[in-house]
Amino acid sequence: MRYHYWHLHHWRILASNGVLRVLQQVHFLLTDNKNYILDLKLSHLLDDPDLAHKNIISIPGVIETGLFIDLADTVIVANEKAELEFIS
């Protein structure tokens, strides 16, 4: 059963920039378990990413946050000119 739309609507209210991920601009993209994927920009929560992850993952129906905490010592960021920035 797909994640109930009310929950998605609730998230979209909390983060007005929430967008359901779509496939080829026609269908909502679903996970293997037939759940929607909601992309949110919650930059204000990233002051404490560990706490944000724990709070978000504790919400019923949330499977994963997409926050990759403590998985890398260095992040490589490239801009549109292919210039690299190394952040440790």
Tokens of 81: 């000119």
Query: What is the structure's pLDDT at 1?
Result: 38
Q: For 25-72, what is each residue's pLDDT tens digit?
A: 778 887 888 777 777 777 777 788 888 888 888 877 778 887 878 888
Question: What class has domain 5-87?
Answer: alpha beta
What are the extents of the domains in the chain?
5-87
Query: What is the structure's pLDDT at 48?
Result: 87
Query: What is the structure's pLDDT at 6?
Result: 52
